[in-house]
Amino acid sequence: MTEENAHDAPVVVGVNGTETALRAVLWAAGEARLRDVALRIVHAAPYAADPTGPGRRRADAILARAYTVARRQGHAVDVHTERLDHEPVRSLLEVAGRAQLLVLGMVHGDRPEDVFITSTAMRVSGRAGCPVVVVRGRRGPLSAGRPVVIGVDDPVADRAALAAAFDDARRHRTPLIVIHARHGIGPLSERLVDRDTQAEMLGHITEAMAPWRSRYPDVQTDLRLLRGSPVDLLLREAVHAWLVVVGSRGRHAAARAVFGSTSREVLRACPCPVEVVNPGVMDREQTVPMPAGEAATPSVATAPSRPAWADHPHDRGELW
């Protein structure tokens, strides 16, 4: 994706006919409105190759319901639908390369469809070419003052995740909590790391975060150096958060193994949406944030007397 069209790239949401996916559609529609870009609803349907078969009718029905849910929420968003020909993971990774955000739904459950959804979200999250938000729980799409929470190990290595988190906090006008976890707990850890060392560590992280605070002066930032498991600390903060942001460690096998140690565990148990950011997704918006005072504000279009979406082939407004 070039710098010129990166800001115009759509928010993409993957659907599969479940209620979980429809919650992701609601979240994605709200995010597309705030970003003032189109919403692209996609469904991977290799089973629908026959244009006259039942598979095609099922795929069209899935897209139609998702389209109607997005349109009936009152969001002034340009909505498009697309049926993809390949299996879900391949399809989603391909569309992620042309998106500024990919949104997926995920729940815990023992049903085959729940297990499949979880597997797809896990496999896509650590490899996508754009940030991926996995919508967890039943919390609505609005931030309502709840903070964005990010776990940071190394501010340099995690700069893509930090950029996404600061952008999210500014866009939603909500505080940002930055957590740096010191591994190890108990008496042994207390003896190995004295107060002087703790102060030195805090000073190092504070200094590393200074450029971010300078670039985003309108974002209220709370830096916390805590002792304990990164997963436990993030999940504890997630109870009161709107969004948790975590970084992955890239696309290679060894990197994905590291991704599994923290990000995957947060994805599995987090009560709020989780944004996973691959370090390779840095773009112009992330590396060069807007100057202070130029934060984007939501753009709400004025609907014509007969909205264009009323004639969309996947509109099923009469059902709602």
Distance of CA 224 to the CA centre of its chain: 22
25's tokens:
């559609």
pLDDT in tens, 271-311: 999 999 988 776 434 443 433 333 333 333 333 333 444 44
Instruction: Quote the CA–CA distance of 53 and 46 in Å, as a whole number.
Output: 12
CATH number of 3-140: 3.40.50.620
Name beta bridge partners: 54: none
36's tokens:
């003032």
Instruction: Quote the CA–CA distance of 225 and 198 in Å, as a whole number.
Output: 9
- Domain extent listing, the chain: 3-140, 148-287
Q: What's the CATH superfamily of 148-287? A: HUPs (3.40.50.620)
**Residue 290 near residue 296 (C-beta atoms within 8 A):** yes
Instruction: Quote the CA–CA distance of 281 and 283 in Å, as a whole number.
Output: 6
Q: Kindly state the DSSP code that residue 317 receives in the 8-state scheme.
A: G
pTM equals 0.80
**Residue 117 near residue 107 (C-beta atoms within 8 A):** yes
Instruction: Quote the CA–CA distance of 136 and 313 in Å, as a whole number.
Output: 30
Give exposure, 270-308, as e/b (b: 16+ Cβ within 10 Å): bebbbbbbbbebebebbeebeeeeebeeeeeeeeeeeee
pLDDT in tens, 187-199: 444 444 566 666 7
- Establish whether domains 3-140 and 148-287 are of one fold: yes
Q: What is the pLDDT along the chain (320 residues), one digit of tens a residue?
A: 554 466 789 999 999 998 889 999 999 999 999 999 999 999 999 999 899 999 999 999 999 999 999 988 766 789 999 999 999 999 999 999 999 999 999 865 545 455 555 678 888 987 899 999 999 765 555 566 899 999 998 888 899 999 999 999 999 999 999 999 876 544 444 444 566 666 777 788 888 899 999 999 999 999 998 888 899 999 999 999 999 999 986 544 444 443 456 888 898 889 999 999 988 776 434 443 433 333 333 333 333 333 444 445 554 433 32
